[in-house]
Structure formats: structure tokens, C-alpha cells
């Protein structure tokens, strides 16, 4: 990966931090028809290798995911004070937390970012799906996240959907 080659190939997801996930998905569904939503909980029971600010640290969140056009729209409610989602909500209030960018090679991109001195806000391995939020403050106006979804892998079934059928 060279400075002339783009690090990010496209935008796949926009992630918003909210205080109350259930209220937020209900409002977005009722006011704007955004949905339907699939809802999960991430915590140490479902995610391994959790980090925060480049240090091993467990955290818990609930999140809801839907798609608007070709872009995923995700809402996250922090369930504890141990994540950058909580820090963003505490320091800035509800709003955009990060953008998920597409990359050609997850490991190569992580190595490139480390080489450039860009650390991580948080990361983990959700049942085979790896994710990392890079500490891109001062470089980009938003936290950059990437995913690695291995061939044939997918997210686990949602805990619930909204609206219920």
C-alpha cells in the first residue's frame, strides 16, 4: 500500500451513537421509514479480543442495523463506560461515531495504519468477524473503521428485529 494507492475503497456503513437504542429505532422507523432493524448485543460473551485505546478492555453495546440504499446505517447504545462509543456520547452527545470503509486487505490495512502511527479506538472479534476503529482524529474528521468478514462468514442471527413481523 503506497501513499498513491487509496487506503479506503468505499464507504459501507455509517455508525451513530445514541442514548436509547429502542427509542431511536422507533423514531427513525415512524418518522422516516428507516428500517426494518436487526438488533444485537456485543459484550465479552459474544466478542473476543476486545480492546480500547490499544489496550485489552472489555465493553458492552447494543446495536441495530439496517440498510439505506447501498449503505448500512447502524445505531449503537453503549451499555457501560468502557468503550469509545460511551466516550463519544459523553463528550459530544448523540451523532456520528465512525464510518466503516471498505479495504482490499484487513491485515495489510492494519499494518499500514500502525506503520503510520495511527492507533486504535476499539476493536474485537465478533464470532469470526474482526473489526477495528482507528484513532484517526487529527487525520480525518471522523473515526475510520474496517471489517474483516471471512469468506462464507456472516453476522449471527439477530436477537430481535423491529418492527416485529
So what's the pLDDT on residue 45?
93
Distance CA 15, CA 53 (A): 18
pLDDT in tens, 105-114: 999 999 999 9
pLDDT at 154 over 90: no
> Which cell goes with 150?
471471512
Q: Indicate whether 121 belongs to any domain.
A: yes
User: What rounded mean pLDDT belongs to the chain?
Assistant: 93
So what's the pLDDT on residue 159?
96
Strands, DSSP E only, in 53-113? 55-56, 61-68, 71-78, 95-102
Q: How confident is the model at residue 2 (pLDDT cuts 50, 70, 90)?
A: low
So what's the pLDDT on residue 137?
85
Indicate the SS3 state at residue 24.
helix
The pTM of the full predicted model, rounded to 2 decimals, is: 0.91
Q: How confident is the model at residue 151 (pLDDT cuts 50, 70, 90)?
A: confident
Task: Answer yes or no: are the C-beta atoms of 50 and 58 closer than 8 Å.
Answer: yes
Indicate the SS3 state at residue 56.
strand
Distance CA 36, CA 25 (A): 9
Measured over the CA atoms of residue 8, residue 52, residue 141 and residue 19, the dihedral's sign is: positive
Range of the domain at 105: 10-153
Q: 32 Cβ partners below 8 Å, 6+ apart?
A: none
User: What CATH number does the domain containing 108 carry?
Assistant: 3.10.180.10
Mean pLDDT, rounded, for 27-51: 95
Q: Indicate whether 159 belongs to any domain.
A: no
Q: Indicate whether 104 belongs to any domain.
A: yes
Specify the number of domains making up the chain.
1
Strands 143-148 and 37-42: unpaired
Amino acid at each position: 500500500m503506497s501513499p498513491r494507492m487509496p487506503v479506503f475503497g468505499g464507504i459501507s456503513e455509517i455508525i451513530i451513537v445514541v442514548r436509547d437504542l429502542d427509542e431511536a429505532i422507533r423514531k427513525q422507523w415512524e418518522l422516516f421509514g428507516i428500517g426494518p432493524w436487526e438488533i444485537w448485543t456485543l459484550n465479552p460473551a459474544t466478542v473476543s479480543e476486545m480492546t480500547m485505546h490499544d489496550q485489552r478492555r472489555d465493553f458492552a453495546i447494543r446495536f441495530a442495523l439496517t440498510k439505506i440504499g447501498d449503505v448500512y446505517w447502524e445505531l449503537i447504545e453503549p451499555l457501560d463506560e468502557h468503550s469509545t462509543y460511551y466516550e463519544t456520547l459523553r463528550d459530544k452527545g448523540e451523532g456520528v461515531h465512525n464510518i466503516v470503509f471498505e479495504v482490499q486487505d484487513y491485515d495489510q490495512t492494519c499494518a499500514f495504519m500502525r506503520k503510520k502511527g495511527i492507533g486504535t479506538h476499539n476493536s474485537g472479534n465478533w464470532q469470526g468477524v474482526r473489526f477495528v476503529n482507528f484513532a484517526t482524529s487529527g487525520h480525518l474528521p471522523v473515526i475510520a473503521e474496517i471489517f474483516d468478514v471471512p469468506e462464507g462468514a456472516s453476522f449471527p442471527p439477530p436477537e430481535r428485529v423491529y418492527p416485529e413481523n
